[in-house]
Amino acid sequence: MFPERLRALRRGRHITLEALAEALNEHLSPQEKPNTASQIGNWERGVRTPSYIEVKKIATYFNVSLDYLVGHSQHTEIDLAMLFLSESLLSFNKEPLDNQDRYEIFQLIDGYLHGKSSRHNNVPIDHQEALDLDF
């Protein structure tokens, strides 16, 4: 399960093996050896198994749990605040979001949630329009 999840996470973010290796090497301790693209490719093919330390670095980088990486759980909860503050490339309807977009959308969501408690929630809603996500 780990190889499939690692490959899906990496490909889902359009990250090359080389780029992932570089990212994992950014905060190496003196006793750690640098990761290589070949090494990560072996993990994705199931040829080799990474150490606990490597799996933890991968989980941190992709903002997922260790349980998710090893197949013990589904990753269904996403904290939008953490996503907006992360270095992940974000897009909306295939339109890339730059830092200004991310900041403004974050502020809109934050303002909506803070104001939610002061709105009248007891007003019945006659209908709800479906979202057109243009997929």
Q: Where are the domains of the chain?
A: 2-69, 80-116
Find the Cα–Cα–Cα–Cα dihedral 70, 73, 77, 78, rounded to 10°: 10
Domain 2-69 has CATH 1.10.260.40: yes
Assign 13 a pLDDT band (cuts: 50, 70, 90): confident
Distances (CA, A) of 53 to 2, 49, 57, 134: 14, 11, 6, 41
Select the more confidently predicted residue: 130 or 108. 108
55-95: pLDDT as tens digits: 999 999 988 888 888 888 765 567 787 777 777 788 888 88
Q: What is the pLDDT of residue 121?
A: 63
CB 57 within 8 A of CB 51: no
For every residue of 72-96, DSSP letters joined together read: SS------HHHHHHSS---EETTEE
pLDDT score, position 83: 78
Q: Which of 61-65, 102-106, 121-125 has the lowest mean pLDDT?
A: 121-125
Residue % of the chain over a pLDDT of 90: 36
